A = this chain, B = another copy of it.
């Protein structure tokens, strides 16, 4: 289990959500409310869209709570669309290439959850990745393979369909090995313009995911930023940040989100072939 968050709105400093809000993601790296993995200290990462062609990524194997570089960067980097992730792993090694977000061209990807018995499936999943994309896989997580499968299945053209086909393929591959319920995930994806998310589990019991109800809700996170957030600001989180639970709406099981300017859509998420 991990914890992640994503922001879309007018440009704010990363620190405005990462450090200033109460029970923020950095706090969650040490003391999440999850009963299973209260500690998410196996590295972290932030990805943001800025002035360069590619989004920026800063990843570290240190626990987010004791990394001073992160504090400085969060104070200086502002962005209208960013993601952050704190990791808890019992499997893949703690190394930067296993920290989220993963990046390909202008795309960023974060994941919380697990492909069950990935060690039995990893080779088959890797083989299905487009050979042209294969060299871009640098780490050893299930998450990165999920991202490159989704890219293989058309994420760049239709992100939610790419994710649905990835989910379908993972489940199908697992079934062939006798694993009935293989996928357990919340994911966040962006091309720098839209923010997509999905909450899905093969057994219908995916990790938690929440979105901010509306712009007023976001302002409750930091009233001083009312002007800065902008009218269409949205935050998506694994676990509520801030002190006002009412500002958060749980994303239903097996659903997808699409956020872009005034657009905010929730739809069923159904694995596809």
Residues of A participating in the B interface, judged by any CB pair closer than 8 Å? 30-31, 38-39, 41-42, 48, 50-52, 54, 56-63, 65-66, 68-69, 72-73, 75-78, 89, 93-97, 119, 122-123, 126-127, 131, 134-135, 138-140
Distance between Cα atoms of A62 and B97 in the complex (Å)? 16
Given A31-B39, A52-B76, A58-B73, list of 10 further CB < 8 A pairs? Answer: A39-B39, A48-B76, A57-B72, A60-B69, A66-B94, A69-B69, A76-B77, A77-B77, A97-B140, A139-B140
CB <8 Å contact, B96 and A93: yes
**Whole-angstrom distance from the CB of A136 to the nearest CB of chain B?**
10
A62 / chain B contacts, CB cutoff of 8 Å: 61-62, 94
Distance between Cα atoms of A75 and B51 in the complex (Å)? 9
Secondary structure of the A side of the interface? mixed
Which A-B residue pairs are the 6 nearest by beta carbons? A95-B95, A56-B76, A66-B94, A119-B135, A123-B134, A41-B41
A97 / chain B contacts, CB cutoff of 8 Å: 93, 95, 140
A75 / chain B contacts, CB cutoff of 8 Å: 52, 54, 56
A93 / chain B contacts, CB cutoff of 8 Å: 68, 95-97, 138
A94 / chain B contacts, CB cutoff of 8 Å: 62, 66
